[in-house]
Amino acid sequence: MADVTHEIAERIPINLVVNGVRRTLDLVPWTTLLDALRDHLALTGTKKGCDHGQCGACTVLVDGRRVNSCLTLAIMKDGAEITTVEGLASDGTLHPLQQAFIDHDAFQCGYCTSGQICSAAGLLAEGRAADADEIRELMSGNLCRCGAYPNIVAAIQQAMGRP
């Protein structure tokens, strides 16, 4: 652990397009994308669960790909398009995944739900899951401690248009 410095870093200006809206932020470099969304942009739909990339509650889409925002430095995503759970509905109409989670009662406490839905949106865009086993495997980065997994899988299957 040589050469550790404790000088205060300068704030760095970055641009993000969050849910279609261009946002400019001045951030210290150690601000995660998760903290930037929640604490700087007041978008608290994205949840902080473990803060270590183990639970998936912080899942958002960066340039269309699902990532753990807790392990992403906001400054590294300067210029990126970010989609959070707040950006999925359009003109007051729920995203098909949001409607499917309601239809299938795919949550209990709800804390993991925005991460589950954003992750599922990434899953649908990837197009790699064709059956329930593949959904379970490719959603394994999203934990639900209430154990709503069967209904989560059913909701995703509905949104995929598969029985």
Cβ closest to other proteins, residue 19 vs residue 68? 68
Q: Is 136 exposed, middle or buried (0-12, 13-18, 19+ CB in 10 A)?
A: middle
Cβ closest to other proteins, residue 5 vs residue 90? 5
User: Residue 58 in contact with residue 69, Cβ under 8 Å?
Assistant: yes
* Joined tokens for residue 42: 């007041």
Three-state DSSP state, 159: helix
Least Å from the CB of residue 38 to other proteins:
16
Cβ closest to other proteins, residue 39 vs residue 126? 126
* Pairing mode of beta strands 81-83, 59-62: antiparallel
State the residues that interact with other proteins by CB under 8 A: 1-9, 12, 28-30, 32, 51-53, 56, 59, 65-68, 71-73, 75-76, 119, 122-123, 126, 128, 133-134, 136-142
Least Å from the CB of residue 117 to other proteins:
13
Our measurement of the distance from residue 76's CA atom to the centroid of its chain's CA atoms, rounded to an integer in Å, reads 17
Least Å from the CB of residue 36 to other proteins:
14
Cβ closest to other proteins, residue 6 vs residue 93? 6
Least Å from the CB of residue 70 to other proteins:
8
User: Residue 101 in contact with residue 63, Cβ under 8 Å?
Assistant: no
